[in-house]
Amino acid sequence: MEESDQVTPSSSSRRRSYSIDGMRVELLYCKSKCYLHPTSSSKDNIPGFLTLTRQPSNTSNIDIVISFVPENLLSDEERAIYEKVDMQIDTTISEHDGTDNSGNNSSNSKKNVVYINKPLVSSITSYSFGITISNIYSVQVRAPSVGWWWGSIIFNSKSMEKIPIVFFHDDESPSTIKEQELRNKDFNIFSSENGTNELFWGGDQFLKILKKYCVLEKSSLENTVFLVNPTSEDMINFVPPVQSSKKEKFNFNTFLNNAKWKILETLANVTNKTRDSVKDAVDEAPEPIKAMLLKPEVRQIVDDFDSSKIYLAKWAMGVQEEAERSRKKVILDDYYTNMLKNELGTEDFKNALSPEEVSRTRRIKPISKVEWESFFDHTGRFFITVNEIKERIFHGGVDEEIRPEVWLFLFEVYPWDSSRLDRTTIRKNLFIVYSRFKNQWEDNFQLQEEDAFWQDQKFRIDKDINRCDRNIKIFKYNTESGEKPDENNKNSDGIDDEDDEDVDITNIKNPHLKILRNILITYNEYNQNLGYVQGMTDLLAPIYYILRDESLSFWCFTKFMIRMERNFLRDQSGMRAQMNTLNELVQFMLPELYIHLEKADSNNLFFFFRMLLVWFKREFQYDDVLKLWEVLLTDYYSSQFHLCICLGLLSKHEKIIMKHLDQFDQVLKYFNDLSMMIDLDDLLVRSELLFLRFRKMVDIIDREASNKKNSGTSDNSEENPISDDLRRLLSKKLVIQREGPRPPGVMGG
């Protein structure tokens, strides 16, 4: 065995490589003076090293091997390398300042890449063992205590293979002794890895390193047990639930008295043709609808989106009649009500789910970078099913650190079955294609100077871009750098520019806002039938905020618009269809509330228009919007789960509405004022429970209808209360509606 100074492929980082003849593996971690206790006699104890190793080729973290190597199996040279690694690799990181105790920043210090002979996994004549992370179900950590002089770690394998307990003899371990001395100097003597107030011990160092390569979640059943890369089912059954960040109890009276109307910006400069279409629709509306449009609560929304004014006007002329027709069959009659009571064994359908079903809906921790990486094999392909991944995202979301990559899968820019190499090729090709689309308008000066429609679309885009998420740091300042302007420089533009009537809205300086404009103008060329419509900026901004890449943001946006295009159709048929479905869903699931909304002239559910149009973008804080979107993008239960979110909101506030609100403007004001006050985690759980209850009720009704048909007792005139629209809520298939060719002379929306 020789120490090699041969330069490895990563020579630029000046990493030294130690090699030993034979099959080599990289030594990631090593802890000396670990023992096996095969008998109760201390003279039989087996000293050795606890190690983490992996193949030098591309391997996944789940392939990392945890091994115990007895000292007597190593040569003097090998043992010296193990001991050197024990003292060097990540064992002296200070907890409070992120630097090592030599005074050098750990991120800048040299990292030794050490290669050793592959440890012996097992032998009849030795006590060595090895197990991959993928085969470990849990790790039990027993810190030193009264009666347990040495701390120990127990590995529980998925294959039920019995693995010896590893004891940490800290009084003999040089690395542990050194760490304890440093901690004593810093008055930092307690453990930080197992969530207790126990004194630091050698097992803490092992846990700290292991957490870099796998997810460790403390079990709710036994606080010394950590689940390794737990599945969603394990997280739900054995890991404590995530606590909601919103603790305050909602006070209705305080809310209703103190809530202040937010002044939404009026989107101006619509073309005469668009204004005429709005005016015509309103003029044809019945007098009660005209009066409704004048209410300040309504104007808050319609001033923001002109399409909502058209929608409300057309509702009275068509949608109301449809709601009345569906009401007769969707609100269950006594026969179906009694049948469901008998089947579910409860008078209250709200208690229709078993305790197990309810427990499975709770929120769990977001997917971390370590956990996300554990989903891939060595080629960068998922080795677990897409449905498992989507379930995990649905119930927990993802950490901010990995959100850009996860969203590329959720928007299906990356195919779910792609490899790491495939994705590199995809990114390159998409950049080329995007550049071609962009060049179609960017280099076409005749188009920019002579095409009235193009000029109108660009003006609309510029107007909306100037008002887009200006409370978010990267969009806040209209400066060349995107940073806060110099207060002493009068020529610098700031956040308040959009409030200045004399400002040139086409003079966009912020580099991020420029990219948003480029993407929207390019999409205008990509989908010429639809073009740009108010509200699209709301859908694009969060995507770019996450990705910070122009080409990838464009392709995510185009994928997003496949499902969202129906929200922006000229005839409003897509929004009307969703409102009709939501109307039927409320009748079916919350019939008493629906009847109350009818009496309050609010069964048009107009208060959900803005929420549906831009996917709740104006209702939540930005972080919650991102979290909600990735839940909805999974289509885990349904491609229309956003309607269940609306149902969840109604269910949450059902008692307040029925007790206190009996007029249209009261209901609308109440829901408008919920903006930025909604507990998202609570809403997601409630919405999931409602969906599961809905699915169970549909199953029972369908089964009864099938039994009656098979027995010959069915009356062909009987209508099944489950309409096609309601039934489509159970489907994961996207509901797609595309805009037709633009009529001559018609401008954008």
- What is the Cα–Cα distance from 114 to 698, expressed in whole angstroms? 61
Residue 148 has pLDDT above 50, yes or no: yes
Report pLDDT digits (tens) over 435-494.
999 999 988 888 888 888 888 899 999 999 998 898 999 999 888 888 888 776 655 555
Specify the pLDDT at position 488.
Answer: 65
As given in the structure block, the two tokens for residue 289 are 């609808």
Among 340-354, 419-433, 661-675, name the one with the lowest average pLDDT.
340-354
Place of tokens 């009849």: 124
Among 240-244, 355-359, 426-430, 594-598, name the one with the lowest average pLDDT.
240-244
Residues above pLDDT 70, as percent of the chain: 73
Specify the pLDDT at position 18.
Answer: 43
Top pLDDT among 38 and 708 is at 38
Q: What is the mean pLDDT of residues 410-417?
A: 97
- What is the Cα–Cα distance from 557 to 411, expressed in whole angstroms? 8
* CB burial of residue 39 (10 Å; 0-12, 13-18, 19+): exposed
The H or E element containing residue 464 is helix 452-465
The closest alpha carbon to 397, from 422, 371, 417, 419, belongs to 371
Average per-residue pLDDT for the chain: 79
The H or E element containing residue 116 is strand 113-117
Specify the pLDDT at position 303.
Answer: 55
Specify the pLDDT at position 412.
Answer: 97
Q: Where do the domains of the chain lie? A: 11-101+111-213, 230-260+367-570+599-654+675-683+725-749, 263-316, 326-362
Q: What is the mean pLDDT of residues 300-317?
A: 53
Specify the pLDDT at position 687.
Answer: 96
The answer to whether 592 touches 630, Cβ cutoff 8 Å, is: no
Q: What is the mean pLDDT of residues 81-86?
A: 90
Specify the pLDDT at position 427.
Answer: 97
Q: What is the mean pLDDT of residues 285-314?
A: 55
- What is the Cα–Cα distance from 520 to 578, expressed in whole angstroms? 25
Residue 586 has pLDDT above 90, yes or no: yes
- What is the Cα–Cα distance from 215 to 347, expressed in whole angstroms? 43
Q: How confident is the model at residue 304 (pLDDT cuts 50, 70, 90)?
A: low
Highest mean pLDDT (candidates 91-95, 122-126, 351-355, 664-668)? 664-668
Residue 341 has pLDDT above 70, yes or no: yes
Query: Strands 17-18 and 113-117: what pairing?
Result: parallel
* CB burial of residue 707 (10 Å; 0-12, 13-18, 19+): exposed
Which CATH number describes the domain made up of 11-101+111-213?
2.30.29.30
Specify the pLDDT at position 294.
Answer: 59
Output DSSP code: residue 73.
G
